[in-house]
Amino acid sequence: MKTVLRDLLSRPSGAIGLFLVVFHLVLALVSPLIAPHDYRELSALSALQPPGADHWFGNDHLGRDTFSRTLLGGREALLVTGIATPLAVIWGGFLGIFFGLVGGRLDDVLMRVVDAFLSLPWILKMLVLIVTFGTGAGVLIPALAFFYGIPVIRVARAATHDVVARDFVEAARARGHSSMSIIWRELFPNVRDALLVEGAMRWSWMLLAFSSLSFLGFGVSPPTPDWGLMIADARGYMSFAPWGVLAPVIALSSLIIGINLTADALAKALGIDRVQKAPI
In a domain, 132, yes or no: yes
CA angle 242, 60, 130 (to 5 degrees): 95
Alpha helices in the chain (DSSP H): 2-9, 12-34, 66-72, 75-102, 104-118, 122-133, 137-161, 167-174, 179-182, 188-216, 227-234, 243-270
Residue 238: which H helix or E strand, with range? none
In a domain, 96, yes or no: yes
Query: pLDDT over 70 for what percent of the chain?
Result: 97
Residue 236 to residues 63, 129, 145, 222, 233: CA-CA distances in angstroms? 15, 29, 33, 17, 7
Over the stretch 15-61, which tens digit does the pLDDT of each residue have? 999 999 999 999 999 999 988 888 888 877 777 888 888 888 888 88
In a domain, 119, yes or no: yes
Nearest in space to 259 (alpha carbons), one of 191, 193, 192, 202: 202
The alpha carbon of 224 is separated from its chain's Cα centroid by a whole number of angstroms, namely 20
Q: What domain range includes position 141?
A: 76-224
In a domain, 68, yes or no: no
Report the chain's C-alpha Rg in angstroms: 22
Residues 267/273/279/280 CA torsion (nearest 10 deg): -80
Confidence at residue 273, expressed as pLDDT on a 0 to 100 scale:
55
Confidence at residue 41, expressed as pLDDT on a 0 to 100 scale:
82
Q: Rounded to 5 degrees, what are φ and ψ at 59?
A: -125, 155
In a domain, 176, yes or no: yes
In a domain, 230, yes or no: no
Confidence at residue 84, expressed as pLDDT on a 0 to 100 scale:
93
What CATH number is attached to the domain comprising 105? 1.10.3720.10
Residue 183: which H helix or E strand, with range? none
In a domain, 80, yes or no: yes
In a domain, 127, yes or no: yes
Q: How many CA atoms lie within 13 A of 156 on its CB side?
A: 29
Work out how many domains the chain is built from and give that number: 1
pLDDT under 50 in the chain at which residues?
A: 274-280
Query: pTM of the entire structure?
Result: 0.86
